[in-house]
């Protein structure tokens, strides 16, 4: 329970911090925050680059991030609607298979009864 409380407190404080800084406001505020973050982190990144033996790739531009977000969002929307269009077919197929399974189980159940059970019914 303590572990859950700690995780909840960390998540709550992270959400509060992002709301306080304006991450969830309009896009211009978020872009300004991104620029401030990039300027604030750049001295530390410079020191880190000196310590790491290989070159780090540059951060993606806002245009690239926006394009990727739109692309994957659209893929998700298309997949969702493709599923909804095919839902009646999938439902019909599942109902037919379920009916067939149940009917064969019921027919097979009569054959598996012992002769004593059939005589006791009469």
> pLDDT tens digit string along 22-72?
778 888 888 888 888 888 887 777 777 777 777 667 777 788 888 889 999
Cα 24 to chain centroid distance, Å, stands at 20
| Angstrom distance (rounded) from CA 46 to CA 107 | 76
Residue 108 has pLDDT above 80, yes or no: no
Residue 68, number of CB atoms within 10 A of its CB: 11
Which residue matches tokens 């000196």?
A: 50
**Angle CA(37)–CA(39)–CA(42) in degrees, nearest 5?**
105
- Comparing C-alpha atoms, which of 47, 20, 22, 48 is closest to residue 35? 22
pTM: 0.36
pLDDT (0 to 100) of residue 88 = 95
pLDDT classification of 86: cutoffs 50, 70, 90: very high
């Amino acid at each position: 329970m303590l572990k859950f409380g700690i995780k909840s407190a960390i998540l709550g404080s992270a959400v509060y911090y992002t709301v306080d800084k304006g991450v969830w406001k309009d896009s211009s505020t978020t872009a300004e925050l991104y620029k401030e973050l990039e300027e604030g982190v750049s001295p530390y990144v410079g020191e880190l680059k000196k310590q790491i033996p290989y070159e780090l790739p540059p951060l993606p531009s806002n245009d690239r991030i926006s394009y990727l977000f739109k692309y994957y969002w659209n893929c998700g929307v298309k997949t969702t609607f493709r599923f909804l269009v095919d839902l009646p077919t999938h439902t019909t197929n599942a109902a037919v298979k379920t009916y067939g399974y149940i009917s064969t189980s019921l027919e097979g159940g009569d054959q598996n009864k012992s002769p004593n059970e059939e005589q006791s019914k009469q």
